[in-house]
Amino acid sequence: MLPLRAPFRSIRALPSPMAAAVAARVPARRFYHDKVIDHYSRPRNPGSMDKSDPSVGTGLVGAPACGDVMKLQIKVDEKTGTITDAKFKTFGCGSAIASSSYLTTLVKGMRLEDASKIRNVDISKELCLPPVKLHCSMLAEDAIKAAIADYQGKNPKAPISDLAGTARTLEKEAAA
């Protein structure tokens, strides 16, 4: 009998009774979609900006259940209300890093009001995230909304965006 850890290129290469026995013992592998792998292996816009700059909004969010932490920063053109640059630093799984990377490419060039309407579903559909990784896209949604709220806090004259549904809004409603 062959050992379980034999270096097989394919289970199909084994004789069929043995292939069935090995396949029954080997746990199923989960693979990331190519879009996740692309954003994870070649992240777009990593880094940070000066958070004391009044044109920069910073959102820092985390998921205690899995330990992912995401910092997203946006630079806004004060005259047009358009996001001119976005950077991120994420400590977490590949899906969290890919969600951050994709989000920075998505929001560049958007007005604050449009960026505030981004939902986790938009991110998860684009990256084809499995249900067990949806919390990563939720973190990205919360991060952009927190960054917008931070920018608006620094710039009271900035147009107010509808941030309904964010964790911060829900906390305020619960406290009231």
Q: Choose among 108, 44, 48: nearest CA to 73.
A: 48
Spatial contact of 138 and 165, defined as CB atoms under 8 Å apart: no
* Longest CA–CA separation in the chain, Å: 75
Helix-then-strand count for the chain, H and E: 7, 3
Give the contacts of 154 (CB within 8 A, at least 6 positions apart): 54, 57
Residue 165, CA distances (Å) to 62, 105, 111 in order: 16, 22, 19
User: In the 8-state DSSP scheme, what is residue 19?
Assistant: H
Residues taking part in catalysis: 66, 136
Give the contacts of 4 (CB within 8 A, at least 6 positions apart): 22, 25, 26
- The one-letter code for the residue type at 112 is L
